[in-house]
Amino acid sequence: MKKKGIAVVVSAMILCMAAAGCGAQSQGTGGDGAASGATSAAALATTAEAAAEEDMSWQEFDDAYVTGVKAADYVELPEDYKHIEVEAARPEDPTDDDVEQAIQAELQNRATSEEVDRKVKEGDTVSIDYVGKMDGKEFDGGTGSYDLVIGSNSFVEGFEEGLIGAEKGQTLDIELTFPEDYHPEAGLNGKDVVFTVTVNNIKETKVPELNNDFVKSLNLTNSFGQAVTTVDDYRDYVRSNLIENLEQSYEDTVKSQIVSKLIDESTLKQDPPANMVEKYNYLLKRQLTYYALQSYTDLQTLMNAYYGATEDNYLDMIHDMAKNYAKQGLIFQAIADEHDLNPSEEEVTTAIAGYVADDVTVEKAEDLDRVIRESLRDDLMTDKVIDYLYDHCKVSEPSEEKEDEDAAEASTQAATAEEAAAAGDTSADTAASSDAASTEEKAEEEDNKTDEDKDSQDKDADEKEER
């Protein structure tokens, strides 16, 4: 099945906004356990109540939706938009090493663990209780319980090595010296400490062997509908999947450039309808607030962190973003009208039925708000428009200079993301992204994580940082 991610696609992002902002419940982000989850839920409830008091009269007007206006009256498209020129490097076929790495990753994903009655060795998962003392006194962050993989380098250097050879039920002291740069603000850098560790149990990880029996257990079929039953078949299957993923990534890259160029080169003949802008403004504020709450901050702080907004202008900035989203929607609609790319009623009905089937909070299609219905229609229309443009565009290979620039930009973005993560604001980064595809993908990642996964990840991160 083809992936759906395309950059700067308004309809899918707004559909996510509608679901999150118009009645869907949010998931807790963990970190502080049930108390934090309750606090977040209460904050979201308060936000929902406040938003309910906002002026939502736009819902009643046809010009809040692209289907209610003549889009060509509002936007002027580039002269030769049907043959947009973009640059994208064709993907190279995966190597044998790429295939083997993918297979090994799958084997690791299917690894199991079982408790063993022997001494600890490298690779084991050891359930421990530990108490850290400095100068005979416990220090903050030095006491806890943990399931530690020996060799993962999760703890300070020397800790995991000190457990090798220990037995179940054994309590031992591990004497360590913290590195000179280890939490100087807490006065732990360079200090001698003693960890008293109790080994509760020892588990051995068993990675399945790559053989025909393992392959058969996967119950796979290739693109021809044939069963994958041998190791050679499986290698071919993995290679085909890698090729498909590379091709999909290439297609997404081309489509992203098409849409970006289309929007940049299109102009507004007149301002979008006020009701349409207000619709996007409302949904955008709801979505940004949702992500702000997930990182335990507020909308103003989020806008300040990622846009440099102030108390006086952050709402104006969101309104400007809403106007831009309205422009994008009108551009897609104008092309759909010109080339008969609007979805049929049957297609829209099918999309609505699928949405209702996936949303346990909606009993029947008639219960859906118009904003969600229109967003589903827009999603179908947008896909058709982008596919049309993809089929007619002109793609050339990028120059070496362009590739170097892209690599430098990617490096800069990675560094920025790393700085944001260090500041603990990755969720806010998600919300504030002006790239609609990034917003959509991040939103889906958040929705796909369970509360248990988030709690576990936050707990592990906190404990590791303390250690």
Mean per-residue pLDDT, 124-128: 95
Share of the chain above pLDDT 70, in %: 74
Q: Is the dihedral of CA 389, 394, 398, 399 positive or negative?
A: negative
CA-based end-to-end distance of the chain: 43
> Out of 188-192, 326-330, 418-422, which region has the weakest mean confidence (pLDDT)?
418-422
pLDDT tens for each residue of 77-121:
999 999 999 999 999 999 999 999 999 999 999 999 999 999 999
Condensed to tens digits (0 to 9), the pLDDT of residues 233-259 reads: 999 999 999 999 999 999 999 999 999
Q: Are 386 and 9 in contact (CB under 8 A)?
A: yes
Does 431 have pLDDT greater than 80? Answer: no
- pLDDT-derived band at 5, boundaries 50, 70, 90: very low
Average of per-residue pLDDT across 277-282? 94
Mean pLDDT of 280-308: 91
More confident residue, 437 or 287: 287
> 371-389 pLDDT, tens per residue?
899 999 999 999 999 999 9
Of residues 243 and 20, the one with the higher pLDDT is 243
For 393-415, what is each residue's pLDDT tens digit? 999 998 766 655 655 555 555 55
* Residue of 432, 402, 403 whose CA lies nearest to 417: 432
Mean pLDDT of 253-274: 95
Q: Which residue has the higher pLDDT, 39 or 73?
A: 73
Q: What is the pLDDT of residues 164-198, one digit of tens each?
A: 999 999 999 999 999 998 888 888 889 999 999 99
Question: What is the bridge-based pairing of β-strands 267-268 and 171-177?
Answer: unpaired
Give the pLDDT confidence score for residue 406 in this predicted structure. 59
Q: What is the mean pLDDT of residues 43-66?
A: 70
Q: Which residues contact 370 (CB under 8 A, 6 or more apart)?
A: 59, 65
User: Residue 264 and residue 450: Cα distance in Å, rounded?
Assistant: 38
The answer to whether 170 and 106 have CB atoms below 8 angstroms apart is no
- Crossing angle (nearest 10°) for helices 436-448 and 10-21: 40
Bridge partner list, 143: 131
Please state, for a pLDDT cut of 90, what percent of the chain lies above it. Answer: 63
If residue 57 lies in a helix (H) or strand (E), which one and from where to where? none
In this model, does residue 1 exceed pLDDT 80? no
